[in-house]
Structures are given as structure tokens and as C-alpha cells.
Amino acid sequence: MPRKAVLYLDALRLNRWPRSLAILPGYIAAKVLQDSTLPSLNECLLLLVAFLLTWLISTANYIINEITDAPFDAHHPGKRHRPLVQNQISWKLLMIVWFLIVGGSGLISMTLFTLPFNYSLLALLIAGILYNVPPIRLKDIPFLDSTAESANNPIRFLIGWFACTPSMAPFWLLISWWLFGNFLMIGKRVAEKKFLSLEESQGYRKSLNRVGAKPLVFFMLLNGIGFLATFSLFLWQNDLAVMLWSLPFITGYLALFFRKSLQDRDGAEEPERLLKNPVFAFYTLFLVIFFLVIYYLRGA
């Protein structure tokens, strides 16, 4: 493959596809709470298409991010080597790719899925624009930057949910998922504030210029507590109170990530990397199995 083509593929950040797997919790939750039947082959194929559409729209958002962040990425020790920052590729050609991705994804989505699914996919696209593009550019506003970025969490959840059913997901479940995402995103900011030099952090992320590390840590703890509280409300209101026994283990999971944010820049900046850590991988698997066991034994 020509080197130029490789540079454009790098700019698309296609390797971020695991983040689009975030639609799976929404689909599984809808199956458990609304349907309770095993998915058919046709449903599995639609879920695969939903994943691909989410990946494509996320890629479109990465294109916008690549273009609008280029002047700031020049101050980041790792991101300063991105092809657009180095003027190795054209932003105009990237925008052509953006229009093709958005147009093609929209046509497929409107053909195969319900209106709520289409609205959720559109919300993912709009969230990326509001987050990255001036003059709004929520990314530059302290505290609101992580809150806006983590909105992708409930949006992706809804994409997975609406791939299964057109009915609305429980309110407190969506809020708790948002707060959990914000907990992770603030951990990323804490790591940047802690491990980047003052010049790097001020040049790379404007929102870090007007806030110290301690308020970020406090905000992170606040979102962690908010997640536990709203998730508990969801369980209580949906006759799943027996699953409140999982809260100590979930709290332990949050504590591990919180500690990681203060000690390890790479792990906090890319939360999915934590799953490569045996401790986090086994802990995640344990939580999933624990939830499933409690859920299916709740009526016994």
C-alpha cells in the first residue's frame, strides 16, 4: 500500500474500533429488560451493521477531531507525530472522506433501522461536532469538556438499545452510564495534568489551563459517587434490588481505575488499554459473570 494511503488511514484512527463495542451493553440490557429471548440470526446481522455504522460515525468524528486539534496536538509528546500535524496529508481530502462516510452511513441507517436508532446515530455525529468545532468547541471548557465527551457513552448505549427495541431505555441507567463515562474521561484529564509538562498541557488542551489537578480529582470522585447512586436507583426502580450486592465490587473497580489515573498516564489516557492488564481483565470478567449469576438467580 502506498505510504500516502497509510497516512490517511492512520488519520482515520480505524484502530479505535473497540470503542464502538460500547453499543453491546445497550443491546444486552435491552434483551434482558425488554425482550428476554435469544437473538435470531437476522438480529445478529443487524447488530453487526449497527456496530459498523457506529464505527463509521465515530471515524467521521475522529476526522473532525484530527483537523480541529492539529494546532494543539503539536504540543503533545505523542500526538505531535500525527500526519496532519506534520503536514503530510490534506485536510480537504479528509473532509471529502467525512462527507462520504456520513452520507453512506445515513442512507444505510435509514434503510435498515427505526427512527430512534437513526436519531441516536445522528446524536453521536452532532456530539462530535459540538465537542470539536469552534466557536462552540466544548472541548475547551473546563469540566464541561469531559462531560460532553462522555455523552458518547449513553449515546452508544442507546444505539445498541434501539438496535433491539424502539422503546426508551430506563432514565437512571442512561444517567449512570454517562457518569461512569465521565469518571473515565476525567481520569484522562488528571493523567494529562499530572504527566504532561506545564507547557505541553497548556498548549495541548485549553480546558486544563484554567483548572488544577485537585479540582479534577474531586470532580472525578463526584462522578464516581454519582454513578454508584444513579445505578442503585436504576436497580431499585426495576425490581433488581438483589443486584445491589454488586456495588462493593463495582466500587473496587472504580478505585482501581482511580489509582491508575494517578499513577499511569498511558492507562488513563486510553482506558481500553487497561483490559490488557490481567488484573483489570479478570476483574471485568468477574463483574460480568457476577451480574449474570445474580440476575438469573434473583427469582429463585
Cα–Cα distance, 31 to 28 (Å, whole number): 5
Amino acid (one-letter) located at 230: T
Cα 170–176–177 angle (5° rounding)? 90
pLDDT digits (tens, 9 = 90+) for 20-74: 999 999 999 998 888 777 888 999 999 999 999 999 999 999 999 999 988 877 7
Cα–Cα distance, 101 to 121 (Å, whole number): 13
pLDDT digits (tens, 9 = 90+) for 152-191: 999 999 999 999 999 999 999 999 999 999 998 898 888 7
Question: Is residue 202 scored above 90 in pLDDT?
Answer: no
pLDDT digits (tens, 9 = 90+) for 78-94: 677 788 888 888 899 99
Question: 80-113 burial string, b = 16+ CB within 10 Å, else e?
Answer: bebbbbeeebeeeebeeebeebbeebbeebeeeb
User: What pLDDT is attached to residue 196?
Assistant: 66
User: What pLDDT is attached to residue 206?
Assistant: 75
Cα-to-chain-centroid distance, residue 78: 21
pLDDT digits (tens, 9 = 90+) for 92-124: 999 999 999 999 999 999 999 999 999 999 999
Q: Could you give the C-alpha distances from 115 to 70, 88, 112, 263, in angstroms and in order?
A: 35, 40, 10, 44
Cα–Cα distance, 229 to 252 (Å, whole number): 15
User: What pLDDT is attached to residue 129?
Assistant: 96
User: What pLDDT is attached to residue 275?
Assistant: 63
Q: Are 244 and 232 in contact (CB under 8 A)?
A: yes
Other Cβ atoms closer than 10 A to 61? 24
Specify the pTM: 0.88
